[in-house]
Structure 1
Amino acid sequence: MRTVELLLDPGLEREVRSLWSRLHAAGARSLATHTHPTNRPHVTLVVVPSLEGLPFLGLPVPVSLGAPRMLGRALVLPATGLHEMHARVWRAVGSANPLHDPARWVPHVSLALNATPGSDALLTGLPPLTGEVVAARSYDQETRTVIDLPDCPAGPVARCL
């Protein structure tokens, strides 16, 4: 399976990484300790068996990251400004994960997985973070590698709408 992920602009990525470090320094779970070379702040749009038919994404797109909250067992920053793009991608390629259905999808950037309930209190008063999603990539869950996705690729991988 492959993901389609949106990457943050450099300033917004730095801010998210600083929150990872802040959580870690406070003794909380954090993605700061996830050292795989592909680990970086992102928003996952879909998980698919193939990238065939992936539509034009229209990057960059403004995004706002809201107050930290628990999403299941993950501590996340909810993201706004991405539903139209997500719906377009969903219509074109679907997703193997039912949580990516547009009626259920909660766009977010993860701060910690398997977080302790109440971890969001460590980041109380955090103002919204604003910036852009500026690039896309795909993570191959089998090989644990990523490829960059051009915004308007040519050839068999995708088409522009």
Structure 2
Amino acid sequence: RVTGDVYLVRELDYEEGDRYTLHVEVSDFTLAYPSSHRVQLDINVQDSNDHAPQFTEDPVTIVIPENTQPGASIYTFQAADKDGSGPNSELRYSIQHRWPDSLHLLTLDPSTGVLTLGQKLDHETTPSLYLVVRATDQAEDVSARRWGSVT
């Protein structure tokens, strides 16, 4: 008796193909009543979170004029995740470290990656700023989320 089991000969990768179609034909070659039946097997590959976000620029150097007004957008961080579509490639941005440690000096929009000046700059007291920005994917399993960072 033949089982009709279907096996993979290699691992599937969503980024190489998210959908496959197989046509399976079963034949009975008895002499009295030969017959066959054909079915279509559709295989949808589920994306696994196998890629971490990567920033398009690393490191980033931003020059901010001292007279820049608070509320001005000064840079947009951009990262990409090679995972397919859905939560595994949706990114959220956050500031992981900042120096000086002033919460209101710079703000980062978690959805767009837009960095905004929160208060007036003074070159004499703060000649330079240091940030570590993280992009985190939104995998449904929080423990499986992957991230990338840029300074």
Q: TM-score, normalised by structure 1?
A: 0.24
Q: Which has the higher helix share?
A: 1
Q: TM-score, normalised by structure 2?
A: 0.25
Q: Pick the structure with greater CA Rg.
A: 2
Question: 1 or 2 for the larger relative contact order (CA 8 Å, sep ≥6)?
Answer: 1
